[in-house]
């Protein structure tokens, strides 16, 4: 078994088809099939399930795929590592972000990367933090901004900032808490519009409710922050979102906001897998993302508190 065979096998699994993999690799399909067959004979196990809908890895194939990803990543890193930092980073970097982070970070990151690293192409993938965490473990994205680190095994996590969670409603809404501070006990008595169970923010809200010994019974459950704000604007209830998500409307006078006592905050982490060493381009984009996040907070564009105002983390 050699590097080329591992690369062929990985491409077949990733594409789910011998024909697609052959086209991407510019290799004849019979030759590609023969390489995989030789690997199966050498290892003495079946690596792929072949069917009308394409191919998928067997359990043995999945184990080989984990080794292949790590070996191929290390092999790709050799050139940049040997040539040193004098060589400009190049290649594609896939970066997973929750939508709320992507709204703030994606555009300035891509713009800055084009100026500083013109040979690097960034592919931003947006989804809920839990999905992004799964993609990070599976190697579908190389870098990620995530909220939860309840199981950090196999991951490097760098706490970048903490954002405050607030209660908000249309300006002058009835039954609103007095002052600018609310308790979770007060919030629990209001018609709340919040994300559904399983959403990272909802988990945070439920933890705060448990600590306050109250039960949250939402009037509406919807995961989209944008839709939550729209429903609150129609005076259907009170929303709970990061302060950053409603800061513009609050500044324009559309919303009243209340911070929680005790404070409810959500941490944002820069993360990547420790099972696959970062390549030069990935490391450069990770550092650049950290710099931009810090700049957004310092400029007031992101209402949050920096975890380490002094400098950037050392990425592996």
Cβ 184 vs Cβ 210: under 8 Å: no
pTM score, two decimals? 0.69
**pLDDT tens digit sequence for 236-289:** 999 999 998 898 899 999 999 999 999 999 999 999 988 777 788 898 999 999
Q: Give the Cα separation of 194 and 200 in Å (integer).
A: 11
Q: Quote the tokens at residue 144.
A: 């990620």
Q: What is the pLDDT of residue 79?
A: 62
For the chain, give the percent of residues with pLDDT over 70: 91
Separation CA 94–CA 143 (nearest Å): 7
Instruction: Residue count of the chain, please give it.
Output: 316
Domains of the chain: 3-83 (1.10.10.10), 91-161+267-306 (3.40.190.10), 164-265 (3.40.190.10)
Residue 47 near residue 59, CB atoms below 8 Å: no
Quick: pLDDT tens for 166-192.
Answer: 999 999 888 888 889 999 999 999 999
Q: Judge contact between 173 and 167, C-beta under 8 A.
A: no
- Cα(173)–Cα(193) distance, integer angstroms: 14
CA atoms of 296 and 34, how far apart (whole Å)? 53
pLDDT, tens digit (0-9, with 9 covering 90-100), for 56-94: 999 999 889 888 877 876 776 666 666 655 567 888 899
């Amino acid at each position: 078994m050699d590097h080329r065979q591992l690369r062929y096998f990985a491409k077949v699994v990733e594409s789910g088809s011998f024909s697609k993999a052959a086209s991407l690799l510019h290799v004849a399909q019979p030759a590609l099939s023969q390489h995989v067959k030789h690997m199966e004979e050498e290892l003495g196990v079946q690596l792929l399930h072949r069917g009308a809908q394409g191919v998928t890895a067997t359990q043995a194939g999945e184990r080989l795929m984990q080794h292949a990803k790590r070996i191929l990543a290390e092999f790709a890193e050799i050139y940049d590592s040997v040539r040193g930092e004098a060589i400009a980073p190049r290649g594609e970097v896939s970066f997973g972000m929750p939508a709320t982070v992507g709204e703030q970070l994606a555009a300035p990151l891509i713009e800055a990367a084009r100026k500083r690293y013109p040979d690097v192409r960034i592919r931003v993938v947006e989804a809920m933090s839990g999905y992004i965490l799964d993609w990070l473990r599976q190697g579908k994205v190389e870098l990620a901004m995530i909220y939860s680190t309840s199981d950090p095994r196999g991951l490097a996590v760098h706490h970048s900032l903490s954002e405050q969670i607030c209660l908000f409603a249309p300006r002058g809404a009835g039954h609103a808490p007095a002052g600018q501070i609310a308790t979770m006990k007060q919030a629990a008595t209001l018609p709340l519009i919040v994300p559904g169970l399983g959403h990272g923010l909802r988990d945070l809200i439920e933890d705060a409710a448990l600590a306050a010994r109250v039960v949250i019974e939402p009037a509406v459950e919807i995961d989209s922050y944008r839709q939550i704000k729209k429903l609150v604007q129609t005076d259907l209830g009170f929303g709970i979102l990061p302060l950053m998500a409603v800061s513009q409307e609050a500044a324009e006078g559309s919303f009243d906001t209340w911070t929680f006592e005790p404070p409810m905050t959500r941490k944002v982490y820069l993360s990547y897998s420790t099972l696959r060493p970062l390549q030069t381009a990935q490391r450069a984009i990770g550092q650049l993302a950290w710099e931009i996040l810090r700049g957004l907070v310092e400029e007031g564009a992101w209402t949050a508190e920096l975890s380490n105002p002094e400098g950037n983390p050392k990425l592996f």
